[in-house]
Chain A
Amino acid sequence: MLRMARSLPEEVLEHVFSFIHSDKDRNAISMVCKSWYEIERWCRRRIFVGNCYAVNPSMVIRRFPEVRSVELKGKPHFADFNLVPDGWGGYVYPWIAAMANAYPWLEEISLKRMVVTDETLELIAKSFKNFKVLVLSSCEGFSTDGLAAIAANCRNLRQLDLRESEVDDPSGHWLSHFPDSFTSLVSLNISCLGSEVNFSALEHLVGRCPNLRTLRLNRAVPLDRLANILRRAPQLVELGAGTYSAELRPDVFSSIAGAFSGCKELKSLSGFWDVVPGYLPAIYPICSSLTSLNLSYATIQSPDLVKLVSQCQSLQRLWVLDYIEDIGLEALAAFCKDLQELRVFPSEPFALEPNVSLTEQGLVSVSEGCLKLHSVLYFCRQMTNDALVTIARNCPKMTRFRLCIIEPRTSDYITLQPLDDGFGAIVEHCKDLRRLSLSGLLTDRVFEYIGTHAKKLEMLSVAFAGDSDLGLHHVLYGCENLRKLEIRDCPFGDKALLANAAKLETMRSLWMSSCSVSFGACKLLGQKMPRLNIEVIDERGPPDSRPESCPVEKLYIYRTLAGPRFDMPGFVWTMDEDSALRFS
């Protein structure tokens, strides 16, 4: 076997490896023998770093010298919900600075939850001559000045996607920095921008880029501009409309309707702020070919939603507000037999009383009618164990199940029992479940079910649940494939954490906030586990100004080869081997 490996020339092996794309497979290849490790590292073109602090740029560059595409993630997921204080970290500049020197042929940069500055964008714009793809997902710290630099300098740009990023002080003129000779754009997503872009610059850009497939506009693009844009890009496959509202006028309507029917390739729609229902029929002609519909910003009521979804027989993904109600979900179940993913968001998340008739029944209907359903995010105000058991039995192929019952610790509203058995059924029947978010009244028992059955689970989100450390222990001990665990407001303390310390090295990260992990336990973990960064995040001041038994506010633990980081703000402390000395 060894002789065979040696007798194959490197070029042949490299060619074979070029068909292997998944990181898991590439990592496996690199461990076969030293020469395969060497060959593989020289031909790896894509890098994914799930936690930017798990490794430092020079380590990556040293091992993989010829990378063309980099994906980095920064802040933990709970940062999306304001649980990570501003200034925590996730700065991408050091990575870009290192890569500017090492990877002059870098083509793609994808960042999620990172702090990106205008300086960073300017460096990207001038360092990578063949730069093609920039995806900034939930990033912050930059302005349209940075975007102008990208537009002006990246001659081969194909994709600029700013999904859900916070862009400072936006002005619309950055779009005009794309030179007239620039025609390579394939995908543009500016839906998160607050203010107007220069409309004529936008129309001109759209008109001169024949390969444009994805265009997600922002709210500031009014309906009457949309028709012009669509007419210049009838080849669009994915469209995010801006504001879908105007005075109802027949000439405007026929203009929009005509523009939409000209777009024969449209498969995905999003946007639709401020919908005037009278204009919805303008999209009916293309509904039957839609596979993805994101109406999370559209305040359309259920009768109009029913009319809409009942024409979308090819729909695979629907994101919608709870205005759809149970009755709309029944229509979805009846007409959209190819549905794979459903997300229902709350229209009035802070209201104490329900404002719509959306209950557990809606989700049950969809689970009954849509046999391919495997990904669910559902906000509601009531649930029963029976409903969850039914859903579990109907959807054994579920891979992502996230339920958010808005009021914390809500019990089964009929039996008044905890929802342990319902979620237990989910993990028992859905053997491929990779992601789970819990809510409602839950005891340690649900965690026992999870530890026993959820063997493929990779990410678990827990809030206001459990009774004791036993709950956390079940999960850490039983979930063999757990990578990310995020917990808030649960009575989990030191015992489970310390008893399962080694488990933490097999995971990407653990987040615990408003729990009962003591500062003393954090110090102990920091001392004993050098390959973990134990970050105590506490805005009340230095943890050693309080007794050791005092619980920390927030705790973020992640495995790392890079050691403690040096860019922490004043409210973050890393527990390391020296911390016991420093804090005593």
Chain B
Amino acid sequence: MGRRGSASSSSSLESSNYPALSSRSSLYQHNRDLSTDLRLGLSIATSSQGNPSTPSVSESDWPPIKPFLKETLAAEENECNSATFFVKVYMEGIPIGRKLDLLAHDGYHNLIRTLDHMFNTTIIWAEMDGEHSEQYHVLTYEDKEGDWLMVGDVPWEMFLSSVRRLKITRADI
């Protein structure tokens, strides 16, 4: 490490060609004012806005935690704050399933109403009474064991804990 000790010309480069730092002090002032914004947790626009000394802190790069942990924590938080439970709903004849948040409904009636609208049909389920219209569909669900059951036979909460996905098929009688 002999090189480091002496201040030889090769170890230090004169920056006399470049402007003194004083012109930058006004930019530092700007930094300090922006630190208040930081404390308020506001995310500050990145330096693409033109001010190169703007501290660019956004949720994606501070505090320094790895993406895998961040994702896990975000998922936990979503579960606690705005609980959602999305399941796919497949309509017979349509290969792409639609996603539906079951927790956005408080019971079967609500769910059926949403599905009727979503798929523009009338759905038959366990509690359906009396008259059927000409074109109707049957709603079934796949449970944790992989069995397909008629929707509506068990209490709503039990349904929520075992449902994996929903299927709407034409009922031909």
Contacts and interface: CB of A to CB of B under 8 A. Distances in A.
B13 A349 contact: no
Given A549-B19, A551-B52, 18 more contacts: A81-B65, A192-B68, A273-B72, A347-B73, A379-B63, A407-B39, A408-B38, A469-B21, A489-B57, A499-B11, A499-B13, A500-B11, A506-B4, A514-B53, A516-B27, A521-B18, A525-B13, A550-B52
Interface residues of A, number: 61
Interface of B: 1, 3-4, 10-15, 17-19, 21, 23-24, 27-28, 31, 35, 38-41, 47-48, 50, 52-57, 59-70, 72-73, 76-77, 161
Contacts of A264: none
A553 B47 contact: yes
A120 interface: no
B72 A498 contact: no
B68 A164 contact: yes
Contacts of B18: 494, 518, 520-521, 548-549
Interface string A305-345: 00000000000000000000000000000000000000001
Contacts of A500: 11-12
A297 B11 CA distance: 48
12 contacts: A297-B69, A345-B69, A352-B41, A480-B1, A493-B24, A499-B12, A500-B11, A501-B11, A502-B10, A503-B11, A540-B48, A553-B52
Nearest to B161: A247
A514 B15 contact: no
A477 B39 CA distance: 33
Contacts of B48: 539-540
A337 B29 CA distance: 48
Given A81-B65, A346-B65, A498 B1 contact: no
Which of the listed residues B1, B27, B52 has the most CB atoms from chain A within 10 Å of its own CB?
B52
B21 A493 contact: yes
Nearest to A478: B4
Interface in A344-361: 345-350, 352
Contact of A514 (B3, B24, B56): B56
Contacts of A299: 76
Interface of A: 80-83, 138, 164, 166, 192, 247, 273-274, 296-297, 299, 345-350, 352, 379, 404, 406-409, 463-464, 468-469, 477, 480, 489, 491, 493-495, 498-503, 506, 514, 516, 518, 520-521, 524-525, 528, 539-540, 548-553
Contacts of A464: 55
A117 B55 CA distance: 35
B73 A349 contact: yes
A502 B56 contact: no
Nearest to B23: A549
Contacts of B62: 81, 408, 463
Which of the listed residues B31, B57, B68 has the most CB atoms from chain A within 10 Å of its own CB?
B68
A231 B24 CA distance: 66
Given A297-B72, A408-B57, A480-B1, A349 B65 contact: yes
A503 B14 contact: no
A409 B35 contact: yes
A498 B15 contact: yes
Given A502-B4, A521-B18, A406 B52 contact: no
Contacts of A520: 17-18
Contact of B28 (A138, A346, A491): A491
Nearest to A529: B13
A419 to B, nearest CB: 16
Contacts of A349: 63, 65, 70, 73
Nearest to B21: A493
A277 B123 CA distance: 40
Contacts of A553: 47, 52
A299 B65 CA distance: 16
The 3 closest A-B pairs by CB, nearest first: A502-B11, A498-B13, A551-B52
A514 to B, nearest CB: 6
Nearest to A525: B13
B100 to A, nearest CB: 20
A82 B67 contact: yes
A200 B129 CA distance: 44
A339 to B, nearest CB: 21
Contacts of B54: 514
A350 B59 contact: yes
Contacts of B66: 80-81, 138, 164
Which of the listed residues B15, B19, B39, B59 has the most CB atoms from chain A within 10 Å of its own CB?
B15
Nearest to B38: A408
A83 B161 CA distance: 41
A409 B33 CA distance: 13
A521 B14 CA distance: 10
Contacts of B38: 407-409
B65 A494 contact: no
B64 A494 contact: no
Contacts of A463: 62, 64
A549 B31 CA distance: 18
B24 A516 contact: yes
Contacts of B64: 80-81, 404, 463
B63 A404 contact: yes
A81 B12 contact: no
A120 B162 CA distance: 42
B69 A540 contact: no
Contacts of B60: 82
B9 to A, nearest CB: 10
Nearest to A165: B68
Nearest to A404: B63
B153 to A, nearest CB: 19
A540 B65 CA distance: 26
Contacts of B39: 407
Given A409-B35, A502-B4, A516 B53 contact: yes
A495 B47 contact: no
A269 B123 CA distance: 48
A498 B16 CA distance: 11
A347 B77 CA distance: 9
B7 to A, nearest CB: 9
A319 to B, nearest CB: 10
A539 B52 CA distance: 11
A114 to B, nearest CB: 16
Nearest to A437: B64
A348 B73 contact: yes
Contacts of A499: 11-13
B15 A495 contact: yes
A84 to B, nearest CB: 10
Nearest to A194: B71
B46 to A, nearest CB: 8
A277 to B, nearest CB: 15
A349 B57 CA distance: 13
A194 B44 CA distance: 31
B13 A528 contact: yes
